[in-house]
Copies of this chain bind each other. A is one copy, B any other.
Amino acid sequence: MIFDHEEASYRRLFYYGSLVGEQIMDKVVFKPIGIIRSGFQDIEGMPIQPLGAQGVKGIVEVYPEYAKGLQDIEGYSHLILIFHFHLSKSSDLLVKPFLDDKLRGVFSTRAPKGPNPIGFSVVKLLAVKDNRLEIEDVDIVDKTPLLDIKPFVSDFDNRYDTRNGWLSDKQLEARIKKSDERFR
């Protein structure tokens, strides 16, 4: 089944995939709802997390047809941005992340190399001006296509007593480490 939310329709093209006997979807189609602007023109030499991008400013430009959905957003200090890693040209199941020199399973990393290049950043919201959001702590390359905005809600989104896998002793490095060319 292909769900195409842009056309608000889906074509019934059932097939039997890895779950034999069960109907599964083979594609999901999303559309950019805006664009993220930043001073980063290249994916090399960037902060690798918002933690390493403190004070770095950017703009979210929501396309005018979606601007009404921004109502009430000014009450939040932080937003979850979900976007397309549009410069990621390939995927790998094992990657050497920026913070390690071993091969790791891609789902145990934040590398932009998963089977679906979906990016996720929590940024600070500074101001709302019509369809433009001024944001801070931006670790996102200029002209990135935005797919969704959700408000960050502390009781929903913070987790305590976490175990942080191979990143346990490397989290602080993310404050200073910059990206290199490896995920082009």
Contact = CB atoms under 8 A, between A and B. Distances in A.
A148 interface: yes
Contacts of A152: 159, 162
Interface residues of A, number: 86
A167 B86 CA distance: 32
Nearest to A73: B108
Contacts of A147: 28, 116, 118
B25 A72 contact: no
Query: Which applies to chain A's interface (DSSP): helix, strand, loop or mixed?
Result: mixed
A65 interface: yes
A157 B139 CA distance: 13
Contacts of A31: 26-28, 115-116
A151 interface: yes
